[in-house]
Each structure stands twice: as C-alpha cells, then as structure tokens.
Amino acid sequence: MHSDAIVIGAGAVGAACARALAGAGLTVTVLDASGAAAGTSGQGEGNLLVSDKLRGPELSLAMRSLELWDGLQRELDDELPPGIPPLEYERKGGLVVATTDDGAAPLLDFAAQQRAAGIDARPLTAAEALDLEPDLNPAVTAAVFYPEDAQVQPVNATEALLASARARGARTVFGARVIAALPAASDRLTGVRTTRGDFTADHVILAAGPWSGEVAACLGASLPVRPRRGVVLVTTRMPHRIFHKVYDADYVAAVESDAASLQTSSVIESTAGGTVLVGSSRQQRGFDDALDLTAVREIAEKATRVFPFLAGASVMRVYGGFRPFLPDHLPVIGPDPAVAGLWHATGHEGAGIGLALGTAELLRDLVTGRAPQLEPGAFAPSRGTLAAA
Amino acid sequence: MLPPERDPIAPAAPEAVTIIVDGIPVSGVAGQSVAGVMLAAGRLAWRTTAAARRPRGVFCGIGVCFDCLVEVNGARDVRACQRIARDGDVVAFQDETLPGGAA
Amino acid sequence: MTRVAVVGAGPAGLAAASAALRAGAEVTLLDAAAATGGQYWRHLPPSRPAAREARLHQGWRDFTMLSRAVARHPRATVIAGAQVWAVEPCAFGDRAPTLQYAVGDADGSDRDVRTLSPDALVLATGAHDLTLPFPGWDLPGVFTGGAAQALAKSERVAVGERVVVAGAGPFLLPVAASLLSAGAEVAGVFEASPAGTLAAGWASGAASVAAMPHKLGELAGYVVGQLRGRVPYRAGAGVIAAHGIDRVEAVTVAALDADWRPIPGTERVIACDAVAVSHGFTPRLELAIAAGCALADDFDKLNPAGLDGLDPAHFDGLNPAGLDRLNPAEPAAPRPWSRFVAVDDDQRTSVPRVFAAGEVTGIAGADAALREGGLAGWLAAGGDPGDRRVAAARRRIARYRGFARALDAAHGIRPGWTDWLTRETTVCRCEELSYGRLTDVLEATGSRSIRALKLATRAGLGPCQGRICGRTVESIAAARNGAPLDGVVIDRRPIAAPIRFSELARLPHPEERHEP
Ligand SMILES: Cc1cc2nc3c(=O)[nH]c(=O)nc-3n(C[C@H](O)[C@H](O)[C@H](O)COP(=O)(O)OP(=O)(O)OC[C@H]3O[C@@H](n4cnc5c(N)ncnc54)[C@H](O)[C@@H]3O)c2cc1C
Ligand SMILES: Cc1cc2nc3c(=O)[nH]c(=O)nc-3n(C[C@H](O)[C@H](O)[C@H](O)COP(=O)(O)OP(=O)(O)OC[C@H]3O[C@@H](n4cnc5c(N)ncnc54)[C@H](O)[C@@H]3O)c2cc1C
Ligand code: FES
C-alpha cells in the first residue's frame, strides 16, 4: 500500500510528525517495530523545559514547542475518543537550586544569560524559594524560578498525538520492524521493507529515537545517533509535599556534558498519581539496561540533599531508557543529504518530548515546501558538526 | 484469635504485647504481625485508597499486595502483615490523598 | 570452598541449603520472612512453641529436620528478615550475580544494607496466590487463600467466623482445613473447574499422578478426613461477586461452564463475613529476571533439552530486556498464567552459576520443591553429578513435572472468567483502575505495548508493582489487542522490594564493594 509519507517510529516525535503531516493533508502510515510509546518515550519523564537551555537554535525550538504544547489539549479535546488518557499538561514552573557555595555563582550567571535570551528566569532569595517549596533544604545557596517550565505525561501525550493523527486519516502499523529500503528504480527512496511487508511512500521520515542510527544504516544513510542511558527513581505514593519541578544546579552541566562516564543530578517532581519521580543519570554504555546501583545511589543522595525529608521515603521502582544522543547536542530535522526521499526527525537526547511539537511543525513545513517558522539550518542533517562524528 | 486452651495444636501460653493503633492501645501476642494484632482485635480495614477513598486491610497476608500499608513509629509504607508487632509500637493510618485532591 | 547463596527458605530453599552443605559448601540462606519455612511451613513464632504444631502441616518432620540441620551447621549462615531487594548480574560472567539485601524489621527504616557475591546462587523464591478480580474483591474481608492460610497457621487468627473458600486448585482444601483448625466455619469450597475438566485433567497426568501416592493421598486425605461432613465442596462453581458497603457481608456464587463462564440463572447469594479466593499461583520471578535468567511460558519450553548454550531466540518475546532484542515476527499469544524460570534437568537456569528450584520453576507442590531444591543445592555446591542420588532426583522431578502439567490441565485458568467482570470492577487494586477504563484505553489506543499500557492506565504502577494485577492485565490486553509486542515482562522489577533513600545512601560505594 502506498502513502504520501511513512513515519518510522511511534514515539513522541514520530507521533507528532504523523499528526502534523496528516493535518497538512498527506496520507500517512506510521510503522513501529513494537507498539506506540514502547521505546524511549515510555521510559523517560515529560519535562517541557526552558530552564536548562541557553540562547541558540535549541532554545528557539523549545520555546516554539512550549507554545504548541500549551494549546494542544484544547485542540485534542474535540478530536479524541474518551479512552485516550489525559495529557496531564501542567505549567507548574521549575525551581533550580544550588546547595553548595561553589554552585551558587554559576547558577546565577547562567540565569542572567537566559534572561538576556528572553527566558523568564527569576532569582529568588532562600526565603522565597522556601515559600514555593517549604520542604526544601533551608541551606540553599542560590535559587532561580522558571515559571515557563511545564510537563506532560509522555506516554499519554504520544498516544494522544497518534490518536489525533489517526483521526486525521493516518494509519498505525505495530510490530512492523523496518529492515531495508525497497529496491529503488530511481535514485530516490521509494519505501521500506518491514517484518510485516513492504510499504511505499513519497517521503520516509525516520523518527526511531536511539535506534535511528541502525535504521538509517539499513536504509543506506548514515546518522551518528547513539544511546545515552538514563534512570529515574520512583517513590511510593506520599502526601503532596513537592509542588514544582525542582532541580539541583548540576543538571545543566550534565545535559551539556559530552562525558561518557556516569553523571547524575537531581530532577525532582511529584506526579498526578501521588508518587515522586527523581531523576536522572546520563551515561553512555550502549543499550545495556542492567541495573546500575551506583547511579541509583548517587541520584538518591543528591535528591535527599535538595529535599531532606526524602530520606524516609521509599523507592519502589527504577526505570530508564536510552536518550537518542547526537555528538553536537542538537536534533536532526530535515532531508538526508545522501538519500533522496529520506527525512530525519530524531536525536533529541533528553528533550524529545519537549521538542516534539516544534520538530513536527518544522518537518511538516520542510516536507510540504512551506516557509518554516524556525530557521532550519542549525538542525540540517548535512551540518558540518555531524560530519566529523 | 483462637483461645490457646481451645487450640488443637496447644500453643505455649502467650506473652502479651500492646501496640498503639490510631491512638488506642490494642493488645496482641508476642510474635504476631501488626496486621494480625489488628485483625484479632476486630479491625478489618485501616488504609484509605487515594482515588475512591475506599477502606482496605489485609488481602494477600504474605507481603506481596501492599494493601495493608501502615505507618509504624513514624515510618510510612510498612506492610502490616510482615511487620512483627513490638510492645509500644505506634501504628498510624496513612493519608494518601492525591495532589490537589483530584481523583 | 564454594560459597553458595540460597534465596528463599521454603521447602526448595531449605533443601537446597542442606544439600549444598552436604556437598561441602559454605552456605548463606536468606529469607525476607521473620522465620524459615516458606509459605508451606508457616508456623507459630519461636516465642510460642506449640506442642502439636505438626497437626497443621504436611511433612512437618521434614521441616524440623531440615531447618535444624541447616541452622546448626557450622558452614551455614541463616538470615531471616533478610529482604533481597536487588540482584546485579556479574559483568564478566565468572561469578554468580551479586545480591543486595536489607536485614531488620520488615520495611523498617534503619535496616542493615548488605551485599553478597557468592560463587553460585540458588533462587527459591516461591510463589504467591493468583487471585482473579471479581466485583467487590476489593472489599475488606476478601482475602487470598494464602492470607487465610498464613494467618491461621502462624498467628492462629481466623480471617472470619463464616468463610467462603473459592478459586481453583487443590490448595483450596488446606485453606479450608486451616480455617477450621483456627475456629472458623467454612460455608463452602467452590472449585471453578467443573468435574469433567478435573477428571480429564488429572487423567491426562494419570501415570505421573499415580506414581505419587503421597500427593494424591494428601488431597484425598483432606477431603475424606478433616473436611468431610463439615464443609460443602462443589466443582464447577465460583464466587463471581462480593457484596457489602465497607466490608464483605455476602457473596454471589454461580455455576461455571468448562471455560469458567458463569451460567446465567445459577447465581445464589451466601452470607459470610470473609472470603478466601485463589485461582492459582504466580511465581516470584523478579530476582531471576534481574539475574538475567530466561523465562518460558509453556511446559515444553520450560524444560528444553540442554539449556546450556541456550538459543535466546527460543524465548523470544519473553526476554526481560527491551526493544533491541525484540522478536521481529508476530509472537504467539503469551500464556501469562504459566510463565516461570526456565531450568534444565539439573535445575540450571540460562545464567551460569544460577540455579532455580521450587515454585519459581513451575507449580507442583512442596514435595517437588524439596526434590528440586536438593538437586539444585547439590550441583550449585559442586557436588558430584554422577552421585546416584542425582539420577534418582532427576527421575522424581520428571514425574513431578507431569504432575504440574496435570494440575494445570485440571485447574488452570480458563478465558471465560472475564465474563464475571463489570465495567466498574477494580482490576488494579493499588491504582484503582477499573475494567471499563482498561478496556476503553485498549480500544482507543490499540496498544500493543505493555510498558505504554501501564503508564496510560496506571495498571501495575502502585506499590505492589503489578504483582497482583500484572498477569490479569496482560491477558486482558492480549485477548483484546493481540499479544504485546514490546517484549516487556510485567514481572520485571529491578527493585524487588521498596528501599528507603536513607538506606540507599548507606550502600557501599563501588570501590568499597569488591570483596576479597
Ligand atoms: C531517563 C530519561 C528521562 C528523560 N526525561 C525527559 C524529559 O523530562 N523531557 C523530555 O523532553 N525528554 C526526556 N527524555 C528524552 C525523551 O524521552 C526522548 O528524547 C524521546 O522520547 C525521543 O522520542 P522519539 O520518538 O524520538 O524516540 P522513541 O520514543 O524511542 O521512539 C522510537 C520508536 O522507533 C521504533 N523503532 C526502532 N527501530 C525500529 C525499526 N527498525 N523499525 C520500526 N520502528 C523502529 C521503536 O520501537 C520506538 O517506538 C528522557 C529520556 C530518558 C531516558
Ligand atoms: C500463602 C501460601 C500458603 C500455602 N500453603 C500451602 C499449603 O498449606 N499446602 C500446600 O500444599 N501448598 C501450600 N502452598 C503452596 C506452596 O507455595 C508450595 O507448595 C511450597 O511452599 C513451595 O515451596 P518453595 O520453596 O518453592 O517456595 P515458598 O515456600 O513460597 O518459599 C519462598 C520463600 O522465598 C522468600 N522470598 C521470596 N522473595 C524473596 C526476596 N526477594 N528476598 C528474600 N526472600 C524472598 C519468601 O519469603 C518465601 O519464604 C501455599 C502457597 C502460598 C502462597
Ligand atoms: S496484606 Fe498483602 S502485603 Fe500485607
């Protein structure tokens, strides 16, 4: 069967792309080796952040995405069947705190640069921080509040975007692993071979998260996407004592880092279910998903420094996934430089949920030849910073 | 609890323990679980569920369902069916309302 | 000297420890419960020795002999109240996995956190009741059979004055017997499988069952002995609803057909103040999965010839790891009710130096657990495989596997049970997910991913981590949307029991963790 576009991957990014393309009138088929949100989008958190970003293309993409997330629930309300769970979109705001003397100055500097770039970043006194979060460690040395930081429940968001795409005529095929390009009569990609048969299309969009490198290879392209492991701790349900997203100031350094070794920082928030999520670690170790207690212990220690009351809380679960990581820390959104008909929408590392909607909009504009809202050059798969990798 | 003098297996004379359950002293027998003490005292439920606010007590009795959670001496999330009651233990019922009270 | 760790001190674990000691090993036996004995030999605490404890138990002499022999042995360390909360596979494969365990009051806040890296590991973590949901099963006063059993045996507390016992399997009989012994009245025992299924099922295993006079004798003994004349027993009937406001006051019992579908018009209400319901057992797989052991979901795969050099493809769709090892082809419908640790004829799992024994490897009762444990412990300790007792044990175990098959044929869960659910029936007790909500989400999403389904419905995200609802949710999802494709096994719980932040902070740093 033929469609205008095939999207490979039913994660948050693929789902958002499918919805945007279907909304532009294209016939779309989403193929996934597994099920919806069965990959990274079901293994991470749903922070939609500006607080960890600096001036540059990623910030523009993040700000545009936030704007789109803000309007999404309203758009979906009319479209979706009742069985689709709520997005749990909440603009609860983020509070970044430093708990050491050394950490204070860099945090305040970072916030000043962000303000210059247009981010609402408000330095707070310790007393003001404690007003927002009464159980915070009173020994905070610096605090900045980011009212724009928001969150969604990533699996629900993926399912909702996919359901909306289906309502716009898209088709989802699960259990279809892409294994090869269809033998091409021309020099253009005409479709893909999967474990559930062949699918042809004018455009093939690769949104296979951390597996995108492998899939690109089997389609004759090259993309240096690598997995970067992260784990999150989940507590048992507890009385509501954490009201915003709260991070320790190490978080920004960990995101920006290239180190392959283990790095941890605290990202703490309560969920609608009453549990508290405590993330997260960053580590490059391939697709090895064995439990790493060193990471778990470090995350727990840092979180207890931010919220001392957590010492008595119980961790009942840890989970984790593999962030799709590109060496220059920017996603790829646009046409493959070598294989005509192949498009990329991947490599969002630890921000793929947050950036999904802006990514989909930009990709749609490029595929359909509309004038893009955002400058696409920085995200182009042909960019020089990827060539070396 | 079956009175020992009527018990066909003839257990040794029980040694009493007293625990404070929701502010009220309740007596049991040394070696009993916190859940066993409460059940034997005629209390069938102690936890309230988060969403529908329904009563819960023991279900599996062997530590796998976590229905019987209580706070013991200030520590939350203790499985009452697994915790052996100690004289003077203070048992409180857990409050599990969801954030914002929403269901 | 070989250092053997055994997790679980039920029949399988005790037998493993004792055999490993006989083979000359140094043995550490860990169990989370306050006393050894497992589920089968739950007994009064040492502070209350009972003169005639043996009356409550089958094989009580086996227990006292085994537990004494192990406890007094100079090469044995027995630690009760030891909750193993994580297992880390050995990165280089030259050692058994490392155990992380916490010792102290159950769920206490200042337990002693300890680490153990043995040369060989025997997992004997047993099973817990499998209770299918029905309307009202979340009312106080509804218990699993195991709860009724445990409270009666180890506390002499009857869960009610007038108790209905229901579900499936021979286990219902000892539950009724111990309720009687604790002073309760048993209003009836209701076995879901109709007489025809029972007869055909047990006949299918006739040879192996006939070879086990003890086991059959046990069943028959219960029926004609303690229960006869005191307890009505009915096959082909089940509790399909419990009623009451804040506690159970009555149940509806209905006749069930061969598929366990309630037969309309046969409903009858029975007043009672407690219900004990068990439809089978769920093995406690989390430690085995964390250790990397392969699972199998049917009896033929459970014991493939020569598990050494196992082809992972054999277990496709059951691999605990994620997507990267996904089966490309559409997997056959899983049989979540019968998923166990796969072992070979020597009780070896797919992971070198890791053995499994007892109900984690299949439900065949305590005698089977004893034999399997003995074999596993002996071989884990490096005991002579040519020892004549090894061959004898293998033969016995093969027969028990026949028994397990017959048990499943006679009493195994049949798909019609979902007919007794209503939209309002709670499926996930922790997160209060209703059957209606679950099916709405399945319908709207077409979900084929267990991971995504859990997050979208919250099924299995509560404190029990899917122990109670997991297999139910899996089978409902598979029946509606087809077999899950994400290879996620709901029994995967890298954190096997809750652990406090303060305890995590006390974990030894990795550089301190290397043992001599
Ligand atoms: C611990 C952790 C915390 C995180 N926290 C956040 C956060 O707070 N905010 C945020 O924005 N992001 C966060 N992330 C990152 C975010 O989860 C990812 O960036 C995002 O999910 C990527 O989505 P995706 O759609 O690109 O990929 P995925 O969700 O991985 O989807 C890829 C899909 O491709 C499919 N696939 C793979 N190979 C094939 C094939 N050959 N054929 C067909 N299909 C195939 C897979 O089955 C999968 O469903 C976090 C990640 C982790 C690990
Ligand atoms: C509640 C209950 C009561 C039963 N009563 C009877 C009966 O009366 N008659 C009958 O024929 N059959 C009974 N059965 C069936 C019975 O389980 C088996 O026949 C037999 O006990 C199996 O032995 P096992 O050694 O495999 O496991 P078990 O006896 O279940 O022993 C497993 C042990 O492992 C421990 N364990 C598990 N996980 C961990 C961990 N992470 N850390 C530390 N320790 C752990 C448990 O505490 C347990 O003591 C009962 C089952 C249950 C669940
Ligand atoms: S009753 Fe199930 S854990 Fe206590």
pLDDT tens track for A150-176: 999 999 999 999 999 999 999 999 999
Res A347: pLDDT:
97
Note whether C85 and C16 are same-domain residues.
yes
In the complex, which subunits touch B with 3 or more CB pairs below 8 angstroms?
A: A, C
- Indicate the top mutation candidate among A7, A32, A40, A69 to test ligand 1's pocket, ranked by most ligand atoms within 8 A of CB: A40
Res C197: pLDDT:
87
Tally of CB atoms within 10 A around C125: 27
Closest CA to A343 of A34, A56, A17, A64: A17
Residue C213 lies in a domain: yes
Res B101: pLDDT:
44
Res A288: pLDDT:
82
Has this prediction a pTM greater than 0.90? Answer: yes
Looking at the complex, does the CB of residue C332 fall below 8 Å from at least one CB of chain A? no
Residue C405 lies in a domain: no
**Cβ < 6 A, ligand 3 pocket:** B 58-61, 63-68, 79, 81
Say if residue C92's pLDDT is above 90.
no
Contacts of C284 in chain B (CB under 8 A): 64
Q: Provide the residue ranges of all domains of chain A, joining segments of one domain with +.
A: 2-79+153-224+328-386, 94-147+226-325
C441 and A43 in contact by Cβ < 8 A?
no
CATH superfamily of A94-147+226-325: D-Amino Acid Oxidase, subunit A, domain 2 (3.30.9.10)
Average pLDDT, chain A: 92
- Indicate the top mutation candidate among B64, B72, B78, B83 to test ligand 3's pocket, ranked by most ligand atoms within 8 A of CB: B64
Cα angle value A182/A183/A187 (rounded, 5°): 105
Tally of CB atoms within 10 A around C304: 17
Helix axes C365-380 and C388-411, enclosed angle (nearest 10): 140
Tokens of C425: 């029936």
Inter-residue contact C150 to C182 (CB < 8 Å): no
Per-residue pLDDT averaged across C205-209, rounded? Answer: 60
Q: What is the pLDDT of residues C45-72, one digit of tens each?
A: 877 777 777 777 778 888 888 999 999 9
Res C134: pLDDT:
98
| Class of B15-96 in CATH | alpha beta
Window 102-131 of A: residues touching C by CB (8 A cutoff) are none
Q: A261, exposed or middle or buried, with CB in 10 Å at 0-12, 13-18, 19+?
A: exposed
Chain centroid to CA A348: how far?
6
Tally of CB atoms within 10 A around B22: 13
Residues 6+ apart with CB under 8 A from C450: C474, C477, C484, C486, C488, C489, C490
Q: How far apart are the first and last CA of chain A?
A: 36
- Cα R_g (chain A), whole angstroms: 21
Say if residue C300's pLDDT is above 60.
no
More confident residue, A179 or C221: A179
| CB C90 less than 6 A from any atom of ligand 2 | no
Res A42: pLDDT:
96
Please name the member of A84, A296, A301 whose beta carbon is closest to the beta carbon of C445.
A84
Res C31: pLDDT:
98
Inter-residue contact C350 to C303 (CB < 8 Å): no
Per-residue pLDDT averaged across C181-187, rounded? Answer: 94
Q: Assign 3-class secondary structure to C160-205.
A: CCEEEEEECCCCHHHHHHHHHHCCCEEEEEEECCCHHHHHHHHHHC
> How many angstroms separate the CA atoms of C4 and C20, rounded?
7
In the complex, which subunits touch C with 3 or more CB pairs below 8 angstroms?
A: A, B
* pLDDT confidence bin for A258, thresholds 50/70/90: low
Res C226: pLDDT:
62
Please name the member of C52, C143, C144 whose beta carbon is closest to the beta carbon of B8.
C52
- Peptide bond between residue A212 and the one before it cis (omega within 30 degrees of 0): no
Q: How many domains does chain C have?
A: 3
Lowest mean pLDDT among A8-22, A237-251, C255-269: A237-251
Res C327: pLDDT:
38
Res C62: pLDDT:
84
More confident residue, C127 or A281: C127
Tokens of A114: 């962000």
Q: What is the pLDDT of residues C228-252, one digit of tens each?
A: 677 888 999 999 999 999 999 999 9
Residue C66 lies in a domain: yes
B76 and A314 in contact by Cβ < 8 A?
yes
Res A183: pLDDT:
75
Say if residue C330's pLDDT is above 60.
no
> How many angstroms separate the CA atoms of C358 and A19, rounded?
51
DSSP characters for C392-426?
HHHHHHHHHHHHHHHHHHHH---GGGGGG--TT-E
Please name the member of A175, A273, A317 whose beta carbon is closest to the beta carbon of C485.
A175
**Residue B65 CA: which ligand 3 atom is closest?**
2
Of all residues in chain C, the percent with pLDDT exceeding 70 is 86
Note whether C102 and C222 are same-domain residues.
no
Closest CA to C105 of C85, C87, C82, C84: C82
> How many angstroms separate the CA atoms of C349 and C310, rounded?
10
Note whether C15 and C33 are same-domain residues.
yes
Residue keyed to tokens 């006292």:
C64
Backbone torsions φ then ψ of C503, nearest 5 degrees? -75, -40
Q: What is the pLDDT of residues C347-384, one digit of tens each?
A: 999 999 999 999 999 998 899 999 999 999 999 999 99
Say if residue A50's pLDDT is above 50.
yes
Q: How far apart are the first and last CA of chain B?
A: 37
Res C308: pLDDT:
31
Q: What is the pLDDT of residues C146-158, one digit of tens each?
A: 999 999 999 999 9
> Across the 103 residues of chain B, what is the mean pLDDT of every consecutive 10-residue run?
81 88 95 96 95 95 97 97 97 82 39
Say if residue C220's pLDDT is above 70.
no
Closest CA to C351 of C341, C336, C340, C338: C341
Domain A2-79+153-224+328-386 falls under CATH 3.40.50.1820: no
3-state secondary structure of A21: helix
Residue C54 lies in a domain: yes
> How many angstroms separate the CA atoms of A163 and A72, rounded?
13
Cα angle value C489/A151/C447 (rounded, 5°): 35
Please name the member of C45, C181, C246 whose beta carbon is closest to the beta carbon of B8.
C181
Say if residue A349's pLDDT is above 50.
yes
Residue keyed to tokens 């050491």:
A100
Looking at the complex, does the CB of residue B97 fall below 8 Å from at least one CB of chain C? no
Tokens of B69: 């959670």
DSSP characters for A86-105?
P---B---EEEEE-SHHHHH
Q: Provide the residue ranges of all domains of chain B, joining segments of one domain with +.
A: 15-96
Distance from CA of A309 to the nearest CA of B (A): 11
**Residue B63 CA: which ligand 3 atom is closest?**
3
Res A256: pLDDT:
59
Closest CA to C202 of C176, C183, C175, C220: C220
| CATH number of the domain encompassing residue C77 | 3.50.50.60
> How many angstroms separate the CA atoms of A121 and A131, rounded?
17
Res A52: pLDDT:
87
Say if residue A24's pLDDT is above 60.
yes
- Indicate the top mutation candidate among A29, A31, A41 to test ligand 1's pocket, ranked by most ligand atoms within 8 A of CB: A41
Buried b (16+ CB within 10 A) or exposed e, C346-366: bbbbbbebbbbbbbbbbbbbb
Q: What is the pLDDT of residues C281-297, one digit of tens each?
A: 999 999 999 999 999 87
3-state secondary structure of C30: strand
Inter-residue contact C404 to C337 (CB < 8 Å): no
Chain centroid to CA C24: how far?
30
Per-residue pLDDT averaged across A272-285, rounded? Answer: 86
Looking at the complex, does the CB of residue C92 fall below 8 Å from at least one CB of chain A? no
Q: Residue C194: which domain range?
A: 131-279
Residues 6+ apart with CB under 8 A from C373: C11, C12, C13, C14, C15, C16, C19, C122, C124, C357, C358
Looking at the complex, does the CB of residue C499 fall below 8 Å from at least one CB of chain A? yes
Tally of CB atoms within 10 A around A82: 10
Lowest mean pLDDT among A310-314, A357-361, C30-34, C313-317: C313-317
> How many angstroms separate the CA atoms of B66 and A298, rounded?
27
Distance from CA of A237 to the nearest CA of B (A): 7
Cα angle value C480/C482/C484 (rounded, 5°): 115
Per-residue pLDDT averaged across C329-344, rounded? Answer: 74
Note whether C182 and C171 are same-domain residues.
yes
Distance A103 CA to ligand 2 centre (A): 51
Backbone torsions φ then ψ of C57, nearest 5 degrees? -130, 150
Residue C411 lies in a domain: no
Per-residue pLDDT averaged across A371-383, rounded? Answer: 94
Res C418: pLDDT:
97
B99 and A272 in contact by Cβ < 8 A?
yes
* pLDDT confidence bin for C515, thresholds 50/70/90: very low
Say if residue C219's pLDDT is above 70.
no
Inter-residue contact C376 to C360 (CB < 8 Å): no
Res B38: pLDDT:
97
Of all residues in chain A, the percent with pLDDT exceeding 70 is 95
Cα angle value A271/A273/A277 (rounded, 5°): 35
> How many angstroms separate the CA atoms of C113 and C94, rounded?
24
> How many angstroms separate the CA atoms of B31 and C47, rounded?
6
Residue C369 lies in a domain: yes
Query: In chain A, where does DSSP find H-type helix?
Result: 12-23, 57-79, 101-116, 126-132, 154-167, 212-218, 250-256, 293-306, 352-368, 384-387
Contacts of A277 in chain B (CB under 8 A): none
Average pLDDT, chain C: 87
Say if residue C328's pLDDT is above 60.
no
Res C296: pLDDT:
86
Res C59: pLDDT:
80
Res C206: pLDDT:
60
B99 and A274 in contact by Cβ < 8 A?
yes
More confident residue, A270 or A260: A270
Res C462: pLDDT:
96
Backbone torsions φ then ψ of B27, nearest 5 degrees? -100, 145
Cα angle value A257/A259/A265 (rounded, 5°): 60
Note whether C170 and C245 are same-domain residues.
yes
Say if residue A95's pLDDT is above 50.
yes
**Residue A322 CA: which ligand 1 atom is closest?**
53
Buried b (16+ CB within 10 A) or exposed e, C80-97: ebbbbbbbbbbeeeebbb
Res C508: pLDDT:
77
Distance C160 CA to ligand 3 centre (A): 17
- Entry field: residues in chain A: 389
Q: What is the pLDDT of residues C438-471, one digit of tens each?
A: 999 999 999 999 999 999 999 999 999 999 999 9
